[in-house]
């Protein structure tokens, strides 16, 4: 795996953890970080060793949003071509690539989340936060608004009375509040964060990777489609998943009474080529 200046990448038994690694800048997203996230996610898509991806932050912050100096002030004087390249990568890795990855992606939220950091959280499939973490749409505090993709993405995830409250006041919210309004999956005691995420990753690794990919595709690709198109997409994904798994092994094991699908996953084995 390549070496990165702004990320740490650790592979451990199927779980690949990407740590945003600019703790001295509270993991604010610099142009370099965007380029590296784009590259690492491109690589992981084709990495058969990676069954689950975890994104977290080094130090006391998950992500303090865009780097206010490097992404905004310094980018203003860059040539248009560079600005476009960085903006496009910034958008793609958070709002497109994570969703399109075949592997499930978990946000392990260890600390501060501000501004653009919200779109990492909303981009991930599952988000678990330590209960003492605080989240804030702070843009209004510096005379701006949740720009780029932030407002666009959050309107998909939050009710207006929740999202607008935080965007207009710039106040922080607790992890419990983030859970209540649907920004994250779950807030857990800080001492349990590591264990919760590992257990979740273990649970996901028991499933067929083809089934996990199908769950994500069905969810994200049908979201904006009209019901008829959504149904067709769903059927196509279903046919392909059957092909990839060589039929319906899960149902065959069920009729042979080898397991109870209501209580756990069937025994999945990748076909040898």
Would you say 151 or 234 has its CB closer to ligand COA?
151
Q: What angle do CA 182, 148, 54 make, to 5 degrees?
A: 50
Quick check: 94 and 119 in contact, CB under 8 A?
yes
Angstrom CA distances, 5 to 62, 71, 79, 133, 253, stand at: 17, 16, 23, 26, 47
- The crossing angle, in degrees rounded to 10, of helices 227-244 and 209-222 is 170
Q: How far is the CB of 140 from ligand COA (least distance, A)?
A: 10
| Region of 81-89, 107-115, 215-223, 254-262 interacting with ligand COA (CB under 6 A) | 107-115
Answer for which of 52, 64, 86, 183 binds ligand COA (CB under 6 A) is: 64
| Region of 109-117, 157-165, 201-209, 244-252 interacting with ligand COA (CB under 6 A) | 109-117
Is residue 138 involved in binding ligand COA (CB under 6 A)?
yes
Answer for which of 33, 54, 58, 67 binds ligand COA (CB under 6 A) is: 67
| Region of 62-70, 124-132, 211-219, 248-256 interacting with ligand COA (CB under 6 A) | 62-70
Q: How far is the CB of 145 from ligand COA (least distance, A)?
A: 10
Show the beta-strand stretches assigned E in the chain.
7-12, 15-20, 52-57, 61-63, 105-109, 112-114, 126-130, 134-136, 172-174, 186-188
Answer for which of 31, 104, 115, 250 binds ligand COA (CB under 6 A) is: 115
CA distance 176 to 205: 27
**Which residue, chain included where needed, has tokens 């005379």?**
143
Structure tokens at 255: 């009729």
Would you say 104 or 136 has its CB closer to ligand COA?
136
Question: How many CA within 13 A on the CB side of residue 183?
Answer: 29
| Region of 63-71, 95-103, 155-163, 253-261 interacting with ligand COA (CB under 6 A) | 63-71
Closest CA to 110 of 44, 65, 155, 175: 175
Is residue 34 involved in binding ligand COA (CB under 6 A)?
no
Closest CA to 118 of 168, 165, 73, 152: 152
Is residue 133 involved in binding ligand COA (CB under 6 A)?
no
CA distance 166 to 186: 19
Residues 160-219 that bind ligand COA (CB under 6 A): none
Answer for which of 31, 65, 163, 209 binds ligand COA (CB under 6 A) is: 65
Q: How far is the CB of 85 from ligand COA (least distance, A)?
A: 19
Is residue 16 involved in binding ligand COA (CB under 6 A)?
no
Structure tokens at 163: 């999202």
Would you say 16 or 56 has its CB closer to ligand COA?
56
Is residue 66 involved in binding ligand COA (CB under 6 A)?
yes
CA distance 273 to 266: 21
Q: Rule CB under 6 A: which residues touch ligand COA?
A: 25-26, 28, 61, 64-69, 112, 114-116, 138-139
């Amino acid at each position: 795996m390549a070496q990165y200046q702004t990320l740490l990448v650790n592979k451990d038994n199927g779980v690949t953890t990407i740590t945003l690694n600019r703790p001295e800048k509270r993991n604010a997203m610099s142009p370099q970080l965007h380029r590296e996230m784009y590259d690492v996610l491109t690589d992981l898509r084709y990495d058969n060793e990676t069954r689950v991806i975890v994104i977290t932050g080094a130090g006391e912050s998950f992500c303090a949003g865009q780097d206010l100096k490097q992404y905004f002030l310094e980018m203003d004087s860059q040539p248009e071509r560079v600005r476009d390249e960085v903006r496009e990568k910034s958008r793609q890795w958070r709002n497109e690539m994570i969703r399109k990855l075949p592997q499930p992606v978990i946000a392990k939220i260890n600390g501060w989340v501000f501004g653009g950091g919200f779109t990492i959280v909303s981009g991930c499939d599952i988000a678990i936060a330590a209960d003492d973490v605080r989240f804030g749409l702070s843009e209004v505090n510096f005379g701006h608004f949740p720009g780029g993709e932030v407002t666009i993405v959050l309107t998909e995830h939050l009710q207006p009375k929740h999202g607008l409250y935080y965007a207009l006041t710039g106040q922080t919210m607790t992890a419990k509040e983030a859970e209540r309004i649907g920004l994250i999956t779950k807030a857990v005691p800080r001492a349990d964060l590591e264990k919760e995420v590992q257990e979740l990753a273990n649970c996901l690794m028991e499933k067929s990777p083809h089934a996990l990919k199908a769950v994500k595709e069905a969810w994200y690709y049908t979201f904006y489609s009209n019901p008829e198109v959504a149904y067709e997409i769903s059927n196509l994904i279903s046919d392909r998943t059957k092909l990839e798994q060589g039929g319906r092994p899960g149902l065959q094991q069920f009729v042979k009474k080898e397991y109870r699908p209501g209580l756990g996953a069937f025994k999945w084995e990748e076909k040898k080529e």
